[in-house]
Amino acid sequence: MKKFFMFLAVIGLIAVAADFTPAVAQEMTAQELLSGGGADVPVYQQIKAKFIEGGVEFMALVVICLILGLALCIERIIYLNLSTTNTKKLLAKVEEALNNGGVEAAKEVCRNTRGPVAAIFYQGLDRAEQGLDAVEKSVVSYGGVQAAQLESGLSWISLFIGVAPNLGFLGTVIGMIQAFDAIQAAGDISPTVVAGGMKVALITTVGGLVVAVILQFFYNYIVSKVDSIIVDMEDASVSLVDLLVKAKK
């Protein structure tokens, strides 16, 4: 599933690159895009104008961070939603299967249930004959594996959250240097030259911060979702051991 979303991200990058090519940026200025009055210009055209004003090179990198970050966020959200299990219902099914058909019937229930909790249950039940100590060790070790899978990709999202504003700041610094070069070439500190250069320089910072804020919301939601699933895994694991203790009495 992750490869599929990364493929979609690449398609999105190609589409953006086709729309915001350097050739287009050279032929079409922001003023031309906004001609006819800002109120009558579509939002897409206004964003495109700001994209060009901020410099295609740095703004393109910021957009790449947004697209790749969103692709990873969407993939994680779908994966975590699919991994969410009604643990109470699963425990009830496992308990019923243990009472009626034994460990093998309970394993079959877990095999037919999706999610990390069911996978942990299966690993624990698979070692039920070796004793409760073996079950607990298996549940703990496999729980760590499942937790790592849930957290997969979070480091990349965090990277994009940090890189996007830094790219914006870098573009701002370079824009400021260009503004001072323009002042030096003009030989006069004209308000028009200073204001224009400052505006262009700050657009990249705004773009980077917007991307970071968007990805941060998704990141926090994903982290909270992961924590919730891990808590369910730990609580359900304790309940599984209790069920096996009752079954042996």
Q: Is the pLDDT of residue 16 over 70?
A: no
Tell which residue, 148, 140, 144, 87, has the closest CA to residue 118: 87
* Full domain range(s) for residue 158: 1-249
Question: Is there a contact between 140 and 62 (Cβ–Cβ < 8 Å)?
Answer: no
**Cα angle 24, 30, 33; round to 5:** 80
Number of domains observed in the structure of the chain: 1
Taking CB atoms within 8 Å and a gap of at least 24, the contacts of 122-127 are: 124/237, 124/240, 124/241, 124/244, 125/94, 125/240, 125/244
3-state SS class at 83? helix
Q: Is the pLDDT of residue 57 over 80?
A: no
For 175-229, what is each residue's pLDDT tens digit? 777 777 777 777 766 666 666 667 667 888 888 899 999 999 999 999 999 999 9
Q: How far apart are CA 16 and CA 10, in angstroms?
A: 10
Strongest mean pLDDT among 3-12, 140-149, 178-187, 196-205? 140-149
What's 20's DSSP letter? S
For 73-109, what is each residue's pLDDT tens digit? 999 999 999 888 888 888 888 888 888 888 888 888 8
| Amino acid at position 184, single letter | Q
For 117-128, what is each residue's pLDDT tens digit? 888 888 888 887
